[in-house]
Every structure is written in C-alpha cells, then in structure tokens.
Amino acid sequence: MNPSSQEKWLISSGNTRSPDVRLFCFLYAGGNASTYLKWHELLPINWQLNIIQPPGRSSRVFEMPIDCPETHVQEISQHLPAESLA
C-alpha cells in the first residue's frame, strides 16, 4: 500500500504503536478532521484515534467527493492498514 495514500485517508493520534482500542471517527456533514483532533487528550492512553478524511473534505477539498456509500466503504477499506480492519 502506498503510505501517502493511507495518510490521505487516515489521520491518527494517540497510541499509534500498540493500541488496545482503535477509535475511528467519520466526518459529519460539513465537518472536518479538526473537530476530532483534540479527542486524543480525552481518551485513555492505550487508545488510538483515527479520523477518516475522505476526498472532497478539508485538506482533500479539491479531490472528487465520493457520493455512493458502498464505494466509500470499499475505498476506506483499501486505504487503511490491515491491522485496523481486524
């Protein structure tokens, strides 16, 4: 997998080495990743915060948005690390 592709889709903070819990946050309508960035300060130390950053939003505003939920899920699963999907 291309690391830059993963970085485009996923913003991670908190315990990124060996988390016991991986929390995934999806943007709400009109929202952006900054909504969730400080959450890691409120989470237990053994948690990892992962913010999904889809095309057409925030730093990816100039990319074509995905308007089909099935395509969105398929794209996300292709760009996340395998251990995140276990």
Whether the model pTM is above 0.95:
no
**pLDDT given at position 49:** 92
pLDDT in tens, the chain (86 residues): 444 666 788 888 877 788 899 899 988 887 888 889 888 899 998 999 999 888 888 888 899 998 898 998 898 888 777 666 55
Predicted pLDDT of residue 42: 92
Please choose, from the candidates 75, 71, 21, the residue with its C-alpha nearest in 3D space to the C-alpha of residue 44.
21
Distant-in-sequence contacts of 61-65, Cβ < 8 A, 24+ apart: none
